[in-house]
Structures are given as C-alpha cells and as structure tokens.
Structure 1
C-alpha cells in the first residue's frame, strides 16, 4: 500500500502503474502473446491437444538451437515493438512442429520472467507467482515450463480461467487481501505440477 501523497518507487520505462484508490497502487506489465499464441501455434501447426500434446512436448530434446521472440502481436503499452515483431531463429530440416511450439512457449515464459524481475526491482523483494488462464489449465507441460523459468519463486496455479477480471474486481472492492474472499472467488488449486520439464531448450529472454 502507498497512501496518496507518499512518494512512489521509481517506475521503469517498461512497466505501467495505476492508482486504484487512496492507498493502493498497481504496477505491472502486459503482453500480447500468451494463450492466444498457444492456440494459434497448435492450430496452424496441426498439433494434437491434451495429454497427447504434453507427451510430445516432453520428448523435445535439448540442443535444437531454437530461439523465439513471442511478440507476434507486438508490445502492449508502454512497450513500442509493433505487431509482427515475433521471430523464430535456428530452424533446420530437423525442426518439428512440436519443437516450434516448445520454443514459442519457452519464449513467453522468458518474456514474463524478465518482466517479473523488473517488477521485483520496484519492491526490492522476490514475489510469489500465481498462474491462470485457459491455455495453462490445458497444458501440464507449459505449467512446468513456467515453474522452471520462474524458479526459485513460489509458483501456484488457479482454477478460475478469468483470473485477471476476478482479481481486478476484488482489488476494486478492497477484498484482494482478504483470504476468505480471494480463495472463494479465485479458486486456488495445488502448487504447480512437479517435477519440472526436462530435455527442453532454454531460450534467452527476447
């Protein structure tokens, strides 16, 4: 909480900040690619879904040399990269459709991990992470990929597919810090699946 009139922490150029009320300030980052990129890649690459896809992703081996910039839709403000900034580097005749999906999703993980590190610099501490959304709920492999990228942070996931809207509503009502209300509205689940994924490329942050 930062009451009105109190000095705010410096705001890095890549983050946004909103004052919600007289004592609450929200600082964060937004992305144009996530579940929509997962759905696009699965559709265009004609990949299976569910356990069959997770099993294929688990078989992706290291050393493929793929690197992905997932910003197919560009940056969300205050970022300035235009739509069409996505990249896939390192393609070869040995590259498979599953390799491409793994590289894209790892790119998303690294992008979010980089932004989270910037957010943590404004509060000078490591934060806990809550994962949500339809694509994450559908892919055990992707949840594990996030856990690996975000380590050593505490990572949990939730059942509510509309977590962003629900969280905004709880914040507006002043209930976000009330465990009774947040647990009921958000729908906590167990910690992210473990063990983490193995045999995957770890691309650098875009």
Structure 2
C-alpha cells in the first residue's frame, strides 16, 4: 500500500490500533508519527475460562463484543481527522470452529489450553516431529492449533463434523465485520500448519490432522474493505479505512518496544513470557528448542516462549498468602541469589521452550522446616529467569552477535527486583522499554509502514530513547550458574520419570 492510496497521508492522518490479549484488550488512536493521542486509550478485561482438565477458553461472542465496544469508545473521541487504517495485534495460536452459517462450534481455544496433550503421542506417530518443526517452525505441542485440531477430531466427533471452517479469533472478527476474512502470514505462522518456504498451508500436516485447505482461510496480508451495513452505520468514520489482517501480538510487542533488528532482543514478561528476535531478512532453519514465526513475508521472528510469567508469580503470592509484590520489593532485594536452596520447575501449564514437554508440571524441591514463603517467591522469580537463560543461549547460537536486550511487559517493568534478577542471570544489561503498551503501539507502527509513512525500523527504533538500563552484578553470576545447573538436573529427573 502506498501513500497515494489515500488523500490524507500527512500529519493529519490517524490510525486506529487494537491489541487483543487473553487477559485484556486495548484500543487507541495514533498519529502518523506513532504517538498515541491523549484520551483515546481504552481497555476491557477478558474473562479466560479455565477448567481442572487443562481448559483455557474465551467466549467468542463476549470477546468480540468487548472489542467492538472499544472501537466505539476510541472513535467517539478521535475528532474529525480521518482514520486511514485499522491495525490489530492478537494473541497467537488461537483456534475457533465455525459451522456453515458462520456460527461458533467451539469456544476460542487459547495457547494456555493443555487438553490436547493426550493426543500429541498419536500425532507424533503420524508426523516426523523434527521435519514438522523444520517446515513449520512450530512444535507438536498442546499450545498449538495443530494439536488441538487432532484432539477435537479424536474426542469430539460431533463438533468436528459440524465445523466447516477453522479460524483464529482475528479472522472471526473480520468475518463479523466484512463477511469474509483472510489469515495473515503472521497469524498463520503461529498455527503449526504453515510452511515457511511456500508461505502457504503445510499439506502433510493438514493431512495428518484430517483437514482440507478449503477448511482454512486463504493466507494473505491485503487489507479488507466494505464493512457490513450494520457496522458501516455504527462506525461511519471507518468506512473508508484500510483494515489490515491481524499480526501476532508478540511480533508487535517487539516493534512497539523498539526491538527491531538483529542487534536488539526482546524479553517480554506479562501474563506469560517470551524472548524474541525480529529482523528483515531470510530466516534460519529453526534450531531445536526455539520456534520460528513471522511478522510478514519479509520479517521472521525467532524465539522461545514460556507459559510462566506474571501468572506464575501471582499464583505463588496467592497460594502462599503473600502480600503484593510492591510491598515485598525491599525484602526480596535483600535475599541473596540461591541462598534458599530451593529449585523450582515452574511448569503450572506445562513446559514450552526450550524442552516442549507439554505433560510436565511444576515441581518445587529443597523445602525444609525453616523455608519461608518469601524464599519460595524469590526462588520462583529466579527459576523463570533461569528458563530465559536457556532460551537466550539458543538464540545466540542460532544468530550470533552482540545485541541489546530490551525488557517489556508489566510483569517485568513494574517489578524492579525481577528485572535485576533477569539481568544478573543473563549476565547482560537490560534496557527497560518506556512504552507501557508495546503490542498496541507496535500494531500502530506496522500499520503506518503499510500506509507508506515510514520504514518500520525508523518508526520503531527510537522508542528506546531514555530507557532505564539495568546493569548485571558480576558477583552474582556463579550463583545463577549453580541454580541453572540444579534446575536442569531436576528437569532431567522429572522428565525421565514422566512426571
């Protein structure tokens, strides 16, 4: 898309950005320099339904109505300046079934849903896991739609037979709004059904789960237009806007925090955690332990994801009856690294990177009569940091070079002790992004590039000006190496025992 496609591509033009996560959704208006317009940011909570058997779902109607309500709010305060485009970041790995009339046959199944773990061994018999990983950049793991499709087909035949189309939540929104939808390259790349060389659906994988390409949306990054009459009346300010297919929220988080290019590595800790490298160029063959997704056809995203982040720390605080993290900062900082002697495997929702043992569960070792709840919490913070060290070393081996580590996400930026623990464990300086809504702003910046209003690098990289930098304490390095060694020893025992 070039600037000539629109008559208002100067400073007077605006873009509407959406960021839809599993715990909340946000919307705001940005100007052509990527600056958020004051008073336009709106938020809505999302209600993730969990169950004892590992379910983690969202209600598609409820979530769609919440997103549409956010759009109502932000355009009501945008004024008369034209909104040129709508860009959207949404959570990767979602899956939703639709019947022939477009009605949902399932809830929105999220990455945190682990119920598909029981069909992964069967799926591994049908597909060579290593060859599948090389082609798709993903894993035969319950966090991916590929496993959830196999699970639904095996255990819910009535749903499977009623479902004529499988989509991500972002595609469902476009079907509501326009009556048609494509699956962006970015969203397709996180399904485990996408072939990185052809940029199309991976036929061997589709065959293994019993799908035809016609049951999935076409893959493409072209904007949509022509709002349905109901929505055109509701959003007259958006009838001429270009609506761009959604990008993965992780990729947008890199962009919004300024982590664009091979010399900048994003470390994000929100509800969950991730470490990602995003750049323009040819992707490498994904090494074991890491995944490979895309922002678009030109930009790969290499990294690893943890199911643990703020959710794990919140669980520890709640179950061990601890005060808020804000109240505990001074006491946590006074603890010496590893002095508690505890070892956590923090897999409350199974392991993702780097071992991808979906069946693994959290384990705490080393408890004694003098162990305190504060020590359990400090050990939990250190345990997640050690998992990130493993991911960091794999990324460094795959794409060598010096780089700045950019920290983002409320779980990290709002927890100074954890940020210091991360820097100490990694042995690298950590620049904390000053951008509180990285994925949201990232969606706006990618939209601006698509409009021809600047290169992504020029728009994104200045985001780190004035970032607070945390320096690692070299005296703590031996303690973290010892903690990592103990954690890996416990990991091998637990995995070999099938626990």
> Of 334, 357, 374, which residue of structure 2 is paired with 1:59?
334
- Partner-residue secondary structure (3-state), 2:382: helix
Of structures 1 and 2, the one with the larger relative CO (CA 8 A, separation 6+) is: 1
Structure 1 vs Structure 2 CA RMSD: 3.0
Q: Return closer, same or farther for 1:181/1:2 CA change in 2, 3 Å cut-off.
A: closer
1:119 aligns with 2:395: yes
Q: Return closer, same or farther for 1:64/1:22 CA change in 2, 3 Å cut-off.
A: closer
Match of 1:160 in 2: 435
Match of 2:281 in 1: 2
Contact 2:289 2:356 in 1 (8 A): no
1:103 aligns with 2:379: yes
The higher radius of gyration belongs to 2
**Distance in structure 2 (CA, Å) of the matches to 1:125 and 1:187:** 22
> Of 3, 24, 30, which residue of structure 1 is paired with 2:299?
24
Structure 2, unmatched stretches of 5+, are 1-279, 450-454, 489-499
- Measured after TM superposition, the shift of residue 166 of structure 1 is 4.0
**Distance in structure 1 (CA, Å) of the matches to 2:323 and 2:474:** 22
- Partner-residue secondary structure (3-state), 1:10: coil
**Distance in structure 2 (CA, Å) of the matches to 1:169 and 1:16:** 25
- Measured after TM superposition, the shift of residue 127 of structure 1 is 2.7
- Measured after TM superposition, the shift of residue 73 of structure 1 is 1.2
Contact 1:60 1:98 in 2 (8 A): no
1:135 aligns with 2:411: yes
- Measured after TM superposition, the shift of residue 14 of structure 1 is 1.3
Q: 1:63-102 counterparts in 2 under 5 A?
A: 63-76=339-352, 80-82=356-358, 85-102=361-378
**Distance in structure 2 (CA, Å) of the matches to 1:79 and 1:188:** 36
Q: Return closer, same or farther for 1:34/1:83 CA change in 2, 3 Å cut-off.
A: farther
- Measured after TM superposition, the shift of residue 150 of structure 1 is 1.5
Contact 1:69 1:107 in 2 (8 A): yes
> Of 323, 346, 349, which residue of structure 2 is paired with 1:48?
323
**Distance in structure 2 (CA, Å) of the matches to 1:13 and 1:89:** 27
**Distance in structure 2 (CA, Å) of the matches to 1:72 and 1:197:** 31
Structure 1, unmatched stretches of 5+, are none
**Distance in structure 2 (CA, Å) of the matches to 1:83 and 1:169:** 37
Question: TM-score under structure 1 normalisation?
Answer: 0.79
Q: Return closer, same or farther for 1:192/1:171 CA change in 2, 3 Å cut-off.
A: farther
Match of 1:13 in 2: 288
- Measured after TM superposition, the shift of residue 19 of structure 1 is 3.5
Indicate the structure with greater strand content: 2
Match of 2:421 in 1: 145
Question: TM-score under structure 2 normalisation?
Answer: 0.36
**Distance in structure 1 (CA, Å) of the matches to 2:352 and 2:446:** 22
Match of 2:310 in 1: 35
